[in-house]
Structure 1
Amino acid sequence: MPTPHISAAKGDIAETVLLPGDPYRAKWAAETFLDNPKLVNEVRGMFGFTGTYKGNPVTIHGSGMGMPSLSIYANELITEYGAKTLIRIGSCGAMQKNINVRDVIIGMSATTLSTPSRGIFKEINFAPCADYGLLEKAVAAARAKGTTTHVGNIYSADVFYDERPDLNEIMIRHGILGVEMEAAELYNLAARHGCRALAVLTVSDHLITHEALPSSERESSFGDMVEIALQAAFA
């Protein structure tokens, strides 16, 4: 049952899907953490792989950058392929002084200016939040690994090159932990379709200190994030 953006056959997509934005990060994560990963999608260069983690079927599928792109893939994965648990794994920029590069942020809720779901909600300011069961298990997994982890509100931006320093200042003042570009819409879609969703993010740069993780170190630093997500899904 191919869709306009996913060519996988029926049964090729697992009920548990990890969603990195970068399709090459999907490839790396699948080859590193899954047993017998199989390429199930490469339409438009957006790789999806299905394998197993400790005997449990898992799909790791790229979502692209930004909420409109994620919305396309998440909608098709949920409505056409039966995905039930969707966990975003990606990078973010820290927005608090007590957070360091390489730390992990788990998004309890997601603040945003706008999402693709805004037209549905109309005048309602819906508050998208994570599935508590997944969040609880992710926190436990992070503690067991000894990973420095922060849990709270994140900001899902709808632009990358932001020219609103005043907006960042407001987010920092109100305790937003980090900024990324996809989680709020993922949480909206999960709520709409009765699915579980979570965002587990690695801090790759810092909006206050301007420190940034070198590209050569990103993969090794992102490993904790992937393991935490997998353990949360199957604990």
Structure 2
Amino acid sequence: MKNRITDANFPRTGDGRVYHLGLRQGEVANRIVTVGDPSRARRISKFLDASPEPFVLQSERGFLTITGKYSGTPISIIAIGMGIGNMDFFVRECRESLDGDMAIIRLGSCGSLVPELPVGSLSLPKACVGITRNYDYDFTAATTESSTYRSSNPPYSISRLVEGHQPLQLHLKEVTEATRPEGASDAAVRADFVNASADSFYSSQGRQTSFPDHNEGLVSELLERVPGVATLEMETHHLFHLAAVYPKPPSELPLKSTASRPVLTRPEGEISATGSAPKSETEQEHSRASRGAIYATAIQMIFAQRQSQDFITPEEVVLRENWAGKACLEALVKFNVQSTQPDEGSVWAKL
């Protein structure tokens, strides 16, 4: 740690940089493509405008941010690594580093569970579920009965569905189809499936190792319980979840009656420690929402087929990555973001 941290609740350096991504206001755009692999971020960044030269920041915690312009529009490409924890760092720290709406597309790889999505396909999930390992389950038990998944203490938990932002998803699908390259004429592009995000590449995705994970029936249980589930990976559910629960800006909130007085968080007349009157619950909700809305969707490259055990070739990866990466950029710059932070003082203005 090179700089003193000023706030233990939401750590920042004295010059305003967030703790894990290393960013500060003006270094991240309202439109973001997020990937796992830093090399993928660098390869996609070649599609950004040559001028101004993109801003590049590698944080001490391994997050890579590349901010520049695409067709004259500010955009960021951020590599976050793998897993729920890193997705949480990314969304929360970006949200606190910029004003206005956020439009986020997750570009990653995944495994397919259904024959309709063979290796080389692109899936744009309409919704996600999360799969988490139950640490209270007795993993030292000798066997796992199929009924264990329906017990009060199953080895794995499957969450309820959370939807992505449908307008952005459908817009991305249109752009992806319109930019289909030669050599991918037969690749499936689907936007009608559900994705599952697991908290482990191995146990919570039903892979068999020497550990007693009790996951032999997990994939079958997932397919039975979640209609339309087709892909498995590790990040998208948490992105969709955070976008869905983030408070809507006042303009998108339903109108509330003013006939009754708002409920106060303290007894009437009590003054807060700052010397100001306490905020009503409505005022607090609007205050939390002041940064803008979060719109999120994803596009996934099918690298593995769990039924056939097929795996993508390096040549196919290059073709899909270029195709999907450019589609993400095209879709984001054409997507109407209602509120954006000003260019003044931003990295793209300086560059």
Give the TM-score range, shorter chain: 0.7 to 0.9
The amino acid that maps onto 1:26 is A
* Percent identity of equivalent pairs: 23
TM-score where L is the length of structure 2:
0.60
Match of 1:148? Answer: 188
Counterpart of 1:233? Answer: 332
Q: Structure 2: 5+ residue runs without aligned partners?
A: 1-15, 134-158, 181-186, 207-214, 247-292, 335-351
Q: How much is the aligned-residue C-alpha RMSD, in angstroms?
A: 2.0
Q: Which amino acid aligns with 1:69?
A: N
1:136 alignment counterpart = 170
> 1:21 Cα deviation (Å)?
1.1
Q: Which of 101, 118, 124 does residue 119 from structure 2 map onto?
A: 101
Other-structure match for 1:211: 310
Q: Which has the higher strand share?
A: 1
Higher helix share: 1
Structure 1 distance, partners of 2:132, 2:94, is 22
- The structure-2 alpha-carbon separation of the partners of 1:217 and 1:142, relative to structure 1 and needing over 3 Å to count, comes to closer
Residue correspondences, number: 225
Contiguous gaps of at least 5 residues in structure 1: 116-124
1:160 matched to 2:201:
yes
Q: What residue number does 1:68 align with? A: 85
Q: Which residue of 2 aligns with 1:77?
A: 94
Paired residue type of 1:155: A
Matched, 1:90 2:189: no
Higher Rg of the two aligned structures: 2
In the TM superposition, structure 1's runs of 4+ consecutive aligned residues that sit over 6 Å from their partners are none
The 2-side partners of 1:4 and 1:160 are apart by 26
Is 1:169 matched up with 2:220? yes
Q: Quick check: 2:129–2:160 contact (8 Å CA) kept in 1? A: no
Following superposition, the deviation at residue 192 of structure 1 comes to 2.3
1:3 maps to 2:54: no
Using the TM superposition, name which of 216-225 and 11-20 deviates more. 216-225
Counterparts in 2 of 1:9-24, with a 5 A limit? Answer: 9-24=24-39
> In structure 2, the residue corresponding to 1:111 is in which secondary structure?
strand
| Structure 1 residue 126, shift from structure 2 partner | 5.2
Matching of residue 29 in structure 1 with residue 44 in structure 2: yes
CA distance in 2, matches of 1:195, 1:126: 20
The equivalent of 2:252 in structure 1 is none
**Amino acid aligned to 2:86:** S
SS in 2 for 1:204: strand
Aligned partner letter, 1:148? A
Judged with a 3 Å threshold, the aligned counterparts in structure 2 of structure 1 residues 49 and 155 are, in CA distance, closer, same or farther, namely: same
Q: Is the Cα–Cα contact under 8 Å of residues 95 and 179 in structure 1 kept in the other structure?
A: yes
> 1:47 is matched with which residue: 35, 54, 64?
64
Structure 2: how far apart are the matches of 1:200 and 1:40? Answer: 24
Mapped contact 1:24–1:47 kept (Cα < 8 A): no
* Aligned 8 A contact 1:20 1:60 in 2: yes
Cα deviation per residue 1:162-205 (whole Å; 9 max; x = unaligned)? Answer: 24241212334443121111011101111222310011111111
Instruction: State the 1:221 CA deviation.
Output: 2.1
User: Could you list the per-position Cα deviations for residues 110-146 of structure 1 after superposition, in whole angstroms to 9, with x for gaps in the alignment?
Assistant: 011249xxxxxxxxx6532111110110111122234
1:178 corresponds in structure 2 to: 231
Match of residue 243 from structure 2: 190
The answer (yes or no) to whether the contact 1:135–1:232 under 8 Å persists in 2 is: no
